[in-house]
Amino acid sequence: MKDMLQYKDYIGSVHFSTEDGVFFGKIEGISDLVTFEGSSVKKIKTAFQEAVEDYIAICEETGKVPQKSCKGDFYVRISPELHKKAVQKSVIQGVPLNKIVQHALEKELLTPA
């Protein structure tokens, strides 16, 4: 995974500021803003893990359910023609459109090349 960190159920982006000489990032895929930074690879990894732990702790203290980076919902923009074909296929097969999309993703991502 390029320019990303993983810890527990969270994904963190990693960027480098040449101006400041630090790595920085945020937890991706959640609406809460959780950022972290470090001056080395080791420090950015530690800062990311600490940010995740702090986020979970703050959520517990405030009675909020922590969001996860990948909760299973996402939005995709496609051409109207492709959208129409997907809807037609779902109607013909008698399955929800989500199942058509899930099957296509599974075929693309889980089938050995």
pLDDT tens for 58-89 read 999 999 999 987 767 778 899 999 999 999 99
Q: What is the 3-state secondary structure of the chain? A: CCCEEEECCEEEECEEECCCCEEEEEEECCCCCCEEEECCHHHHHHHHHHHHHHHHHHHHHHCCCCCCCCCCCCCCCCCHHHHHHHHHHHHHHCCCHHHHHHHHHHHHHHCCC
| Measured distance CA(5)–CA(103) in Å, rounded | 27
* pTM to 2 decimal places: 0.66
* Domain ranges, residue 57: 4-62
Who contacts 40 (Cβ-Cβ below 8 Å, separation ≥6)?
A: 23
Banded model confidence at residue 45, pLDDT cuts 50, 70, 90: very high
Does 84 lie in the same domain as 53?
no
Q: What percent of the chain has pLDDT over 90?
A: 81
Does 48 lie in the same domain as 8?
yes
Residue 71 lies in a domain: no
Number of domains into which the chain is organized: 2
Does 51 lie in the same domain as 14?
yes
> What value does the mean pLDDT of the chain take?
92
Does 14 lie in the same domain as 53?
yes
Specify the pLDDT at position 55: 97
Does 84 lie in the same domain as 58?
no
Specify the pLDDT at position 12: 94
pLDDT tens for 5-20 read 999 989 999 999 999 9
| pLDDT over 90 (residue 51) | yes
Residue 46 lies in a domain: yes
Residue 33 lies in a domain: yes
Specify the pLDDT at position 107: 92
| Measured distance CA(108)–CA(101) in Å, rounded | 11
| pLDDT over 60 (residue 1) | no
Q: What is the CATH number of the domain that holds 54?
A: 3.30.160
